[in-house]
Amino acid sequence: MKSLWNDDEAANFSGDINQRVYTSRLLGREPALVLHGGGNTSVKIREMNLVGEDEDILYIKGSGWDLEKIEAAGFAPVRLDHLIKLAKLPQLSDAQMVNELRTQMTRASAPTPSVETILHATLPYKFVDHTHSDAIVAITNTASGHERIRELYGDTVVIVGYIMPGFDLARQCAEQFAREATPKTLGMVLLNHGIFSFGATARESYERMIELVTRAEEYLKSRKAWDISVRATPPDNFSPRDIATLRRDISTAAGKPMIVARTQNERTAGFISRPDIQRLSQQGPATPDHIIRTKRAPLLGRDVASYSAAYRAYFERHAPQAREPKTMLDPAPRVVLDRELGMLCVGNTAKDAHIVRDIYERTIDVIQQAEALGGWVALPEKDLFDMEYWDLEQAKLRSGSKAPMFTGEVALVTGAASGIGKACVESFLARGAAVIGCDINPEITTLYKRADFLGIVCDVTREDDIANVLRAGVAAFGGIDMAVLNAGVFPGGNRIESLSTADFKRVLDVNLNANLSWMRELHPYFKLAPRDGRLVVLGSKNVPAPGPGAAAYSASKAALTQLLRIAALEWGMDGIRVNAVHPDAVFDTSIWTPEVLEARAKHYGMTVEQYKRKNVLKTEVTRRDVAEMCAEMCGPLFAKTTAAQVPIDGGNDRVI
């Protein structure tokens, strides 16, 4: 590992706090050191308070901040003297510790200080860095981990046996450091956990971390335990319906819809193909800090029921020994390893599933390095249980905010690159859904850069394209729960006597036949939806009130409406509800250019604003209005409604 320190960059970060920000970000750039909020950094500063008194303040990374993107506001300022006094107490519960940390902050708006705050306070250095280095974890997760660390570092590090994060760990580290530290000491290794470095400056602490981790990496290399990942060609013939079935089973075990993201590459395929995969994968995570997101052990194969039963048994074995009553976390896996489907990562959201993926991909390397070094050995089950059912994590679960309506669910939107379709994407994302957006416009692929959106180019008249969308969408999120069939064409006015058969068929191909294909192919996934499937079809005012010159369009939308009525009859037994919205005069879409609006308004002897509100309610209907209706029709308000045709037109006198 190389130091990323850059004098020119560092010059932009003046002062101790900003230097702390800079080197924290350098650590955060290294996935082999920290991942998704892992790791910790701090700095001790003497400051004058409001009444003119000097105080020693520990600034430590606050909860919820990621080192890679941390800012000065992400550090919680805590009075150092009080922390030192706390470290001398014989005992301190988690709840008491959190209360003391919060009440001793000098800025009420600061994030909650890390649970390792007292530990950082006891180390007699201005700057302290802590990471979960893969190399360190690989070495310490072996039967002879303590001896190997001593062989590697000699007396330049203090070695502390595994203790769960919190007050007990802080006190143990303080006592050992006071006894064992020498002028040669550069760091401290916590077995099965990570490594600390420290220094008088941010640069010194950071570069000591890089030095210590590099020595660990060189140690692995020297023992042929570095780049030893087994690689295999990943199979590409997976069944999307098998993934959707597995997602349904996982969601049932969890008691809520879950996102299941497929990951398959040469490294994951190689790991899954190992003959000893059962033994290696079922011991536990690389470090207990990862257990909350990746669970105790992955599920091998697809037997979710047996996994859930084993998880319940695991809980029952250890819950009676807990100091306080525990509420069992949902007994559903967060990682599934399957030779045909690949590695599947599970989360409440797509972002959570991606975090699980990133963590377990690192874990795969750590496991294989430790195995090559002398045999992979994870922590005992009791220690894993204590971490998973840690009081502080239980408190987070109890105090968590209510999840958005569609959290864990997946919506598909056709014609999603612009207009009503794009607005539908935004409405579903705002309600917590992961969204598959498809459009013939290539811009769909870059519409949003976020974990919960997948944009795919698709010509809806091509059944191969539809199959590819479903395959990619299910691989990304695990299934499809809801769909808005919005893609369509509105040809220019053409009276029947001049309407060619070819033009008529072209409109029907897009507005009707393509939607039949979507409905046929979506049905199996709707049947597997954890909360039952939901379909919304974009109809038109032209269904109840057609106009001259729109024969092809009106006929296609009327036939589509009849098709959804049949679908409602046929699919009701599967709990699938099918509804339609009939918008009219939605002017904030691409077909309504300022020139067209001006011409139409002039035709009616109106201003543009008057023309936009040419309806019974004298209101303007926007694409967002239509999108919000589509999203709500997939929600609980319409849970007992199917085959409905809802106008969203401000009231049209011809329809009324």
3-state secondary structure string across 544-593 = CCCCCCEHHHHHHHHHHHHHHHHHHHHHHHHCCEEEEEEECCECCCCCCC
SS3 content of the chain, % helix, strand, coil (to 5): 45, 15, 35
135 and 277 assigned to the same domain:
no
Longest Cα–Cα distance in the chain: 98
Residue 504 located in a structural domain: yes
pLDDT < 50 positions in the chain: none
139 within 8 A of 148, measured Cβ to Cβ: yes
Residue 230 located in a structural domain: no
Please tell me the predicted confidence (pLDDT) of residue 334: 94
Please tell me the predicted confidence (pLDDT) of residue 391: 76
CA angle 598, 602, 605 (to 5 degrees): 140
Residue 2 located in a structural domain: no
C-alpha of 378 from chain center: 26
What interhelical angle do 80-87 and 94-103 show, nearest 10? 160
Confirm whether pTM is higher than 0.95.
no
328 and 386 assigned to the same domain:
yes
Residue 255 located in a structural domain: yes
103 and 198 assigned to the same domain:
yes
30 and 120 assigned to the same domain:
yes
569 within 8 A of 632, measured Cβ to Cβ: no
287 and 357 assigned to the same domain:
yes
C-alpha of 256 from chain center: 16
Residue reference for tokens 């957006």: 437
Give the domain-ending residue among 173, 192, 222. 222
Residues 6 or more apart whose CB falls under 8 angstroms from that of 566 comprise none
Give the domain-ending residue among 364, 396, 428. 396
Residue 170 CB neighbours (<10 A) = 25
Distance (Å, rounded) from C-alpha 369 to C-alpha 32?
13
Q: How many domains does the chain have?
A: 4
Residue reference for tokens 């003391």: 100
Tell me the sheet residues that pair with 188.
158, 196
DSSP 225-265: -SS-----PPP----HHHHHHHHHHHHHHHTS--EEEEE--
634 within 8 A of 536, measured Cβ to Cβ: yes
For residue 498 the two structure tokens come to 């001049």
459 and 537 assigned to the same domain:
yes
180 and 299 assigned to the same domain:
no
Residue 227 located in a structural domain: no
95 and 111 assigned to the same domain:
yes
Distance (Å, rounded) from C-alpha 113 to C-alpha 131?
17
- Go through 256-295 and write b for each residue having 16 or more CB atoms within 10 A of its CB, e for each that does not: bbbbbbbbbeebbbbbbebeebeebbebbbbbbbbbbbbb
Residues 6 or more apart whose CB falls under 8 angstroms from that of 362 comprise 31, 32, 35, 134, 286
Give the domain-ending residue among 396, 421, 439. 396
Residue 645 CB neighbours (<10 A) = 15
86 and 198 assigned to the same domain:
yes
Residue 229 located in a structural domain: no
Say whether 553 is catalytic. Answer: yes
Please tell me the predicted confidence (pLDDT) of residue 285: 85
At 308 the three-state DSSP class reads: helix
35 within 8 A of 356, measured Cβ to Cβ: no
Which alpha helices (H) appear in 104-239, and where do they start and end? 117-122, 134-140, 145-153, 167-180, 202-222
How many CA atoms are closer than 13 Å to the CA of 473, on its beta-carbon side? 31
97 within 8 A of 165, measured Cβ to Cβ: no
CATH number at residue 479: 3.40.50.720
Residue 606 located in a structural domain: yes
CATH number at residue 198: 3.40.225.10
State the residue range of the domain holding 497. 410-586+621-648
Distance (Å, rounded) from C-alpha 188 to C-alpha 198?
9
Distance (Å, rounded) from C-alpha 76 to C-alpha 98?
13
Residue 214 CB neighbours (<10 A) = 15
Task: Judge residue 518's burial from the number of C-beta atoms within 10 Å of its C-beta, 0-12 exposed, 13-18 middle, 19 or more buried.
Answer: buried
For residue 434 the two structure tokens come to 């992961």
389, 553, 604, 611: the catalytic one is 553
Please tell me the predicted confidence (pLDDT) of residue 399: 63
326 and 473 assigned to the same domain:
no
156 and 302 assigned to the same domain:
no
Residues 6 or more apart whose CB falls under 8 angstroms from that of 255 comprise 330
Q: What is the helix (H) or strand (E) element at residue 58, kind and residue range?
A: strand 54-61
Please tell me the predicted confidence (pLDDT) of residue 455: 98
58 and 203 assigned to the same domain:
yes
Residue 656 located in a structural domain: no
Residue 616 CB neighbours (<10 A) = 12
Q: What is the helix (H) or strand (E) element at residue 514, kind and residue range?
A: helix 514-527
Q: Which residue type is seen at 446?
A: T
Nearest alpha carbon to residue 479 among 263, 247, 305, 177: 247
